[in-house]
Structure 1
Amino acid sequence: AGKTTLLRLLLGQLTPQSGGVRLGTNLQIAYFDQLRERLDEERTVQENVGDGYDTIEAGGKRQHIVGYLQNFLFSAERARTLVRFLSGGERNRVLLAKLFAKPANVIVLDEPTNDLDIETLELLESRLVEFGGTVLLVSHDREFLNNVVSSTIVFEEGEVREYVGGHDDWLRQRAERSSQSPGPVKASNGRRATRQATATTAPGPVDSKEPIGKRRLKYAERIELAELPEQIERLDKQIAELHQAMADPAFYQQPGEAIAREQTRLKEIESRLATAYRRWEELEGLVD
C-alpha cells in the first residue's frame, strides 16, 4: 500500500504530512503515467509523438519522426494513423515512444507492465536497460523487475534497506542475511522506495555470481539471437574465402606485409566466429 502515493510525494504532486523530500539538482523527470492522459485521439501517432515536428531528438541524435517510430514497431503507414484507430498495444507503444523522446535523466513508472502485450513488454525492457539515467519503478511483475533493475529498496522490519539486483536477488540476500550475516546497507536519508515492489535502476549491468538459469530472453537478446546465425554464416564464408586465397601459390608471391595482413585478418575473423558461437550457445541455453 502507498506505492503510488510515495511516487507522487517524490514528484512533488503531494505535500508530506510530516518530514520533507529532498531532491537533487538538474533533474529532468519523465513520468510515464502522466502521458496516458496526453494522447490526442484526433491526431496521428506521428503528430502525438513529434508534437507536429518532422524530426525529433532522442538518445543524443536527431532523426526523422517516422524513422524513430519504427524503433517502436510502427510502419510508416501506421505512424500516420489517428490514435483513435489504434489497438491497446499500439497505444502503449505510442506512450513509450513519447516517454523516451523526452529529454530526461530520471524516468518514473507506476505499474508500467499493466495491459502490455509481450512484444511491447520486451520493447520496454530493452529501452530501460539501455537508458543512461535513473529509473524509479513500481511493479508487481517480478520477472520484469529481475530483468531490468539493478537495485531494490525495501521497507522491512521498520527500516529502509537497499539490495543489489532485482526481486529474486532481494529474496536470496534477505535469506542469507537472516541465516548468517548482518543486514545490508541501509538507504541514505531521503532515499525511498516501495516494499517488495519498488526498485531503481542505474546504468550498467549487475554483477551477479549466481549461475545462469533458464529464463525468458530480453527483447535485445531475442534480436541478437535471431541475427547470430546469419552473422556466423557470414564469418564462415569469409574464412573459407581466405583459406581458398591462401591455397593459391600466387598468394605467397605478394609482399610480406600483405601476406601478414591477411593472416592477421584470418585470425581476427576466426576469433570473432568463436565468440559468436559461444554467444549463440549461451543465449540458446537461456531459452526456457
Structure 2
Amino acid sequence: SIRWLEDYLKSFPGAVIFVTHDRYFLDVIATRIIEIDQGKAYSHPGNYTAYLESKAIRQQIAGQTERRRQRFLRTELEWVRSGVKARGTKSRHRMDQFYAVEGLEAPPEEREMDLLIPPAPDLGNVVVELEGAGVNVGTAAHPRWLFRHLDFSLRPGQCTGIVGRNGVGKTTLLKLCLGQIQPTEGTAETGKRVKVNYIDQTRMQLDGTGSLLDEISDGNEKVQFGNQTLGARAYLRRFLFNDQRINERVDLLSGGERARLMLAKVLKNGGNLIVLDEPTNDLDLQSLRMLEEAVADFDGSVLVVSHDRYFLDRICDQIIAFEDNGVTVQAGNYSYYLEKRQAREAAQRAQAAAYAQLNSPKQKSSSGKPRKLTLAERKELESIEGTILSAEEEVSKLESQLNDPEFQAENFNDIPGLVKKLEAAKAKTAALYARWEELEAVAGSAGPQTGS
C-alpha cells in the first residue's frame, strides 16, 4: 500500500502536505521538510537525506556561533572584573555590547536517548527453526491458510524482519516462532536456551494506572538491568524522562513517550531473543535512530515486524515477506529483498510474454507446431547460467565496495560512477534472467530437440 501511494504521489500534479516518521517515504516523496524543534520551525529544501545534511550544517554553525559568544563573554568578563577605574576609562558602548551578547539565548542542546540493551545470554545453535510449517485459521472443511510450506531458520546474532500487508498473519508467525501456538502442518522448534523479550503491537504490557517509577521498578529506587542493578531515576533519564516527571501518571503520557517507556521497561529485562512487533509506530525520528543503533549492537537474535522500511534496511540481515502468492524468505535487508522481488517479477512477466508469444499464430510454423530454438539460441541457453553467475558476481563485488567505509573514504570521487555502474549491472542481471526464462519457455514448448 505504501509503495502504491508513493507511485501515485510521484505523478500527482497538486501539492501534498504530510506528517510522517517514515524516512523511506520522506526520501522518495518529499521536496521540502519542515522540522519543528524546541518551539521553532525550520524549513529544509529537498528530501530526508538533504534534510539530514542541512540540519547537520545548521547545528555546526550554531555550535560555532555559541563558541564565539562564550569566548567573547570570557574576554569581556575579565575586563568587567578589572575594576571600577578600568571601567570608567572604557566606552559605555562596550558595556552595552557585553550585556547584549550575554542576554542571547544559547542554542538548545539536542538530547538523545541513551538506549542500551543488556548483554545477551549465550544461545545454542538453534534459536528458531521452522520446517514445512503452515497455519490454518479456518476449518478442515473450509480451510483458510495464512501460510504453508514455510522453511525458516533464525540463528544466533541474526535479525529477521517480517513484512506484509495488515492481516496476512505476521503476528501469528511471531507466535509460532515463540512456541505460543503450534503449526497446523510441519514443525516449529524454539531453542531451549532462548529467553524472549517481547514488545507487543498494542503496548498492552504497560499497566497504565501508576507512575513511571511504578512501571519501571514497581515503585523501587533500583531496577535490574540484565545482571546489573541501576538507579531507577538514572535509568529513566537515559530515555529522556527527567527527575521531575518520574512520578507522573503513565496515562498522561503522549504516544511517543509511552513507546519510550515501553522500551525502557522491556529492554531492561535482558534476554537473547528480542521480538519487536511494530516498534516504530509512535517513536520520533531521534528515538528511532537510537533504537536502530541499540539493536544493531545487540549480540543476541532479533525478530521484528515493521512497515518502517528504513528501519528494516538498517538492522535486518534476513526478510520474511508475505506476498500474494505465498511467503518468501530472502537473505539481506529490505532493499535487497525488493531488488530480488523486482527481478523475480520481471522474469515472470518475461515468461508470461514468451508463452503468450508462443501461443500466438505468428509463433507457429505452417504446420501449426510451435517453433524450435535456433542453433544460436541453443548455444545461448547452454551458456546463459554461467553468464548470469558472472553478472551476479559483478553486482556483489560492486556492492561490497560501496558498503566498505575504507573504500568510500579512499575513492570518494569515484562513488557516483560506481553507483551508476552498479545500477547497470543489476539491470543487466535482470535482463539475463528474463532472457533465460524466455529461452526455457521456447525449449519447453517445442519438446526435446536434436542437433541440426
TM-score, structure 1 normalization: 0.57
What's 1:68 paired with?
235
CA distance in 1, matches of 2:278, 2:182: 22
Per-residue deviation, 1:15: 2.6
Distance 1:130 1:78, change over 3 A: farther
Which of 27, 31, 37 in structure 1 is aligned with 2:204? Answer: 37
What's 1:133 paired with?
300
Which of 255, 263, 278 in structure 2 is aligned with 1:88? Answer: 255
Which of 87, 102, 105 in structure 1 is aligned with 2:272? Answer: 105
Amino acid paired to 2:402: P
CA distance in 1, matches of 2:326, 2:267: 36
What's 1:28 paired with?
195
Alignment of 1:185-200 (within 5 A): none
Which of 159, 180, 193 in structure 1 is aligned with 2:388? Answer: 180
8 Å CA contact 2:210, 2:250 repeated in 1: yes
Secondary structure of 2:204's aligned partner: helix
Which of 380, 385, 402 in structure 2 is aligned with 1:211? Answer: 402
Which of 331, 335, 339 in structure 2 is aligned with 1:163? Answer: 331
Amino acid paired to 1:107: I
8 Å CA contact 1:49, 1:97 repeated in 2: yes
CA distance in 2, matches of 1:96, 1:87: 14
Per-residue deviation, 1:167: 0.5
What's 2:433 paired with?
none
Secondary structure of 1:22's aligned partner: strand
Q: Does 1:57 find its partner at 2:224? A: yes
Per-residue deviation, 1:173: 5.1
Per-residue deviation, 1:212: 5.7
Per-residue deviation, 1:107: 0.8
CA distance in 2, matches of 1:128, 1:35: 20
Q: After alignment, is 73-82 or 121-130 more displaced?
A: 121-130
For each residue in 1:32-51, what CA deviation from the matched residue of structure 2 results, as whole angstroms up to 9, or x when unmatched?
00782232223111220113
For each residue in 1:91-110, what CA deviation from the matched residue of structure 2 results, as whole angstroms up to 9, or x when unmatched?
11000001211131101112
CA distance in 1, matches of 2:213, 2:201: 19
8 Å CA contact 2:178, 2:190 repeated in 1: no
Per-residue deviation, 1:147: 1.4
CA distance in 1, matches of 2:216, 2:258: 11
Secondary structure of 1:66's aligned partner: helix
Rg larger in 1 or in 2? 2
Amino acid paired to 2:219: G
8 Å CA contact 1:92, 1:120 repeated in 2: no
CA distance in 1, matches of 2:286, 2:245: 16
CA distance in 2, matches of 1:35, 1:22: 26
Per-residue deviation, 1:154: 4.6
| Corresponding pairs, count | 191
Structure 2: stretches of 5+ with no match in the other structure: 1-167, 348-386, 393-398, 413-452
8 Å CA contact 1:163, 1:173 repeated in 2: no
Amino acid paired to 2:318: S
8 Å CA contact 1:109, 1:136 repeated in 2: yes
CA distance in 1, matches of 2:388, 2:177: 35
Amino acid paired to 1:209: S
Secondary structure of 1:72's aligned partner: coil
Structure 1: stretches of 5+ with no match in the other structure: 185-207, 214-274, 282-288
CA distance in 1, matches of 2:300, 2:180: 22
Secondary structure of 1:38's aligned partner: coil
Secondary structure of 2:186's aligned partner: coil
